[in-house]
């Protein structure tokens, strides 16, 4: 783990695990409200190991916390704004909203429904973004 590389599998697994938990228990996000999650249990489970791994991999403290915040915001945003429980409903709502748009005013959105509608519920959008973020934060890649 101290090879000078951020343990990407650990970071991805930690963030993906949090994402699964938020999707399984959407009430957690509502419970959070506008308050930051600063309980010792949460800090010990998520924040401390993430920062420790990043520092051990050679990241500066500022880079480590910024990377953690990006992972957290990406994960929380995905869990908050994607309808994971009912993909067909999410797709139907998207299709209906876009169908109501004037094609002259919204040519891109109305002209690419076959690409847009599936992406609304595609979990790879989140996981791909997560991997890109981790890869970009790796000091060995960021220096290039």
Regarding whether 89 and 48 lie in a shared domain, the answer is no
Backbone angles phi, psi at 25, to 5 degrees: -130, 75
Residue 144 has pLDDT above 70, yes or no: no
C-alpha triplet 22, 38, 85: angle, nearest 5°? 10
Backbone angles phi, psi at 104, to 5 degrees: -70, -30
Say how far apart CA 115 and CA 88 lie, in whole Å: 15
Regarding whether 49 and 70 lie in a shared domain, the answer is yes
Say how far apart CA 6 and CA 3 lie, in whole Å: 8
Q: With pLDDT > 70 as the criterion, what percentage of the chain qualifies? A: 80
> Are the C-beta atoms of residues 38 and 3 closer than 8 Å to each other?
no
Residue 136 has pLDDT above 80, yes or no: no
CA-based diameter of the chain, in Å? 56
Distances in whole angstroms, Cα of residue 70 to Cα of each of 63, 65, 102: 10, 9, 35
Regarding whether 78 and 137 lie in a shared domain, the answer is yes
Regarding whether 63 and 111 lie in a shared domain, the answer is no
Regarding whether 103 and 43 lie in a shared domain, the answer is no
Check residue 51 and give its pLDDT. 87
Regarding whether 77 and 33 lie in a shared domain, the answer is yes
Tens digit of each residue's pLDDT (9 = 90 or more) over 40-99: 887 887 788 888 888 887 888 998 888 888 888 888 777 777 766 788 988 999 999 999
Regarding whether 17 and 64 lie in a shared domain, the answer is yes
End-to-end CA, the chain: 21
Say how far apart CA 30 and CA 57 lie, in whole Å: 34
Q: Which pair of tokens denotes residue 129?
A: 């973004």
Check residue 67 and give its pLDDT. 83
Q: Between residues 31 and 111, which one has the greater pLDDT?
A: 111
Residue 104 has pLDDT above 80, yes or no: yes
Check residue 84 and give its pLDDT. 66
């Amino acid at each position: 783990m101290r090879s000078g590389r951020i343990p990407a599998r650990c970071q991805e697994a930690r963030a993906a695990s949090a994402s699964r938990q938020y999707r399984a228990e959407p009430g957690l996000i509502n419970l959070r409200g506008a308050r930051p999650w600063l309980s010792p249990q949460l800090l010990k489970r998520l924040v401390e190991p993430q920062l420790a791994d990043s520092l051990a991999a050679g990241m500066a403290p500022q880079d480590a916390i910024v990377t953690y915040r990006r992972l957290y915001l990406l994960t929380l945003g995905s869990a908050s704004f994607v309808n994971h429980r009912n993909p067909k409903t999410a797709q139907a709502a998207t299709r209906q909203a876009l169908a109501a748009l004037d094609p002259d005013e919204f040519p891109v959105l109305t002209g690419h429904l076959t690409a847009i509608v599936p992406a609304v519920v595609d979990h790879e959008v989140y996981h791909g973004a997560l991997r890109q973020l981790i890869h970009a934060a790796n000091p060995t890649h960021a220096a290039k």
